[in-house]
Amino acid sequence: MIKNPLLVVGIGGAGSRLAKKVSEAIDCECLLMSNDKRDLADSNNSILVNSGKWVNPSAYKLRSFASAKQEQIRAKLEGFGTVLVIANLAGRAGAAMAPLVCGIAGKTSTVISFAIMPFGFEKDRVFSAGVSLRRMREASHSTVVMDNDAFLDNNPDLSKEECYSLTNSAIVEVASSIASRSVRPDMNILSTSKASADSQASLRDSVSMLYQDITDADAIRRTVVYVMGGEKLPISQLNQLIGYAQGIFKEEGATEVAMSSLAVADGGVRVHVVASAPQKTRFDAYDPLGEIFSADSHLDWDEPDSAPDLELAIPLLE
């Protein structure tokens, strides 16, 4: 499914930082896109979406500004076989631009998108993130979702910054591994764990996080278990870990294990699980209207909603 050459696109602040790390890890080209010049610092391949006089534009307004850059975006994406798009949908830039970039890239390239979902307490961002995720899924060949809220629920002792650090590391490690593997053309949920000397405990933490996002766990058809620092494990422990994973995900032949020699910052082992999810996940509830209307009854336009400036020549009437 991965076709060369490969381009990593980072959108917004978090997306740009992660895209740079992934591109360095797999030695490929990187494109950054944001409405904030600071996100594009030290990059020789970027697109600045100028929001003009708007100091704090909404996601819809930002999308209209990004739409004006479509030809430039298309030119930057031209010639690449696979495009990895990384965006934090809790941020306005990610929610606004990621569906647009995926839509443009999908017309000529294989698109694998990585979406970071907001915390549950960020109520003002949940709806926008849910709608943008649906648009990204429609425009991408495969989508991998990291749910910060599920990770924090699973690790309530962590601060918001610590949560970001761990989930962002998981995205970089899995995205870097995907470049040399394959990913199922479905909605995929990425779950992770804290570093632990006990690999089985790390696996349990990842699975616990996964089950918070998937409403029908029995419908999981394929999982890839990434063992970071796994080459340090004794063979007996690795065999046990594989056995436990296959016991949890009972679909025969559906579980793969990928080991990585990447060092874990806190020592020990971290386990990431990427599960090919059924159509129904907790993110569907982020868009309440999507729960009411069936997919073939949506009133959405083909192009994502935006809020362009419309100047009407209305004469002054006295």
pLDDT at position 299:
47
User: Beta partners for 269?
Assistant: 196
Contacts of residue 175, defined as CB under 8 A and 6 or more positions apart, other chains included, come to 8, 18, 22, 84, 86, 114, 144
Which carries the bigger pLDDT value, residue 56 or residue 24? 24
How many domains are there within the chain? 1
- For residue 230, give Cα distances in angstroms to 224, 235, 249, 261: 14, 10, 20, 7
Pair 129, 286: CB distance under 8 Å? yes
- pLDDT grade for 78, boundaries at 50, 70 and 90: very high
The model carries a pTM of 0.86
In a domain, 103, yes or no: yes
C-alpha to C-alpha distance for 246 and 191, rounded to whole angstroms: 16
Contacts of residue 68, defined as CB under 8 A and 6 or more positions apart, other chains included, come to none
Kind of pairing, strands 142-147 and 110-117?
parallel
- pLDDT grade for 293, boundaries at 50, 70 and 90: low
- For residue 290, give Cα distances in angstroms to 73, 130, 170, 220: 29, 10, 29, 22
C-alpha to C-alpha distance for 85 and 9, rounded to whole angstroms: 5
Residue 263 has pLDDT above 80, yes or no: no
In a domain, 304, yes or no: no
Interval 58-85 mean pLDDT: 92
**One-character DSSP codes across 84-102:** EEEEETTSHHHHHHHHHHH
Interval 107-126 mean pLDDT: 90
In a domain, 147, yes or no: no
- Among 139-148, 175-184, 304-313, which stretch is predicted with the lowest mean pLDDT? 304-313
- For residue 163, give Cα distances in angstroms to 10, 48, 143, 194, 247: 20, 29, 21, 10, 28
Residue 23 has pLDDT above 90, yes or no: yes
- Among 33-42, 199-208, 276-285, which stretch is predicted with the lowest mean pLDDT? 276-285
Task: Domain of residue 99: give its range.
Answer: 1-140
C-alpha to C-alpha distance for 221 and 225, rounded to whole angstroms: 13
Which carries the bigger pLDDT value, residue 311 or residue 239? 239
Where do we find the tokens 């979702």?
145
What proportion of the chain, given as a percentage, has pLDDT over 70? 80
DSSP state of 232: G
Interval 164-173 mean pLDDT: 91
In a domain, 156, yes or no: no
What proportion of the chain, given as a percentage, has pLDDT over 90? 35
Which carries the bigger pLDDT value, residue 252 or residue 37? 37
In a domain, 297, yes or no: no
Which carries the bigger pLDDT value, residue 230 or residue 210? 210
Interval 284-294 mean pLDDT: 65
Pair 133, 99: CB distance under 8 Å? no
User: Beta partners for 12?
Assistant: none
Where do we find the tokens 């793969």?
256
C-alpha to C-alpha distance for 113 and 132, rounded to whole angstroms: 12
Contacts of residue 100, defined as CB under 8 A and 6 or more positions apart, other chains included, come to 63, 66, 67, 70, 73, 304
Crossing angle between the packed helical segments 70-77 and 92-105, to the nearest 10 degrees: 60
Q: What angle do CA 50, 13, 227 make, to 5 degrees?
A: 150
Residue 8 has pLDDT above 50, yes or no: yes
Size of the chain, expressed as the number of residues it contains: 318
CATH of the domain at 92: 3.40.50.1440
Interval 185-214 mean pLDDT: 85
Residue 28 has pLDDT above 70, yes or no: yes
In a domain, 99, yes or no: yes
Average pLDDT, the chain: 82
Which carries the bigger pLDDT value, residue 58 or residue 74? 74
In a domain, 81, yes or no: yes
Which carries the bigger pLDDT value, residue 1 or residue 301? 1
- Among 57-66, 116-125, 176-185, 296-305, which stretch is predicted with the lowest mean pLDDT? 296-305
Residue 18 has pLDDT above 90, yes or no: yes
In a domain, 7, yes or no: yes
| pLDDT tens-digit readout, 228-246 | 876 666 778 777 877 887 7
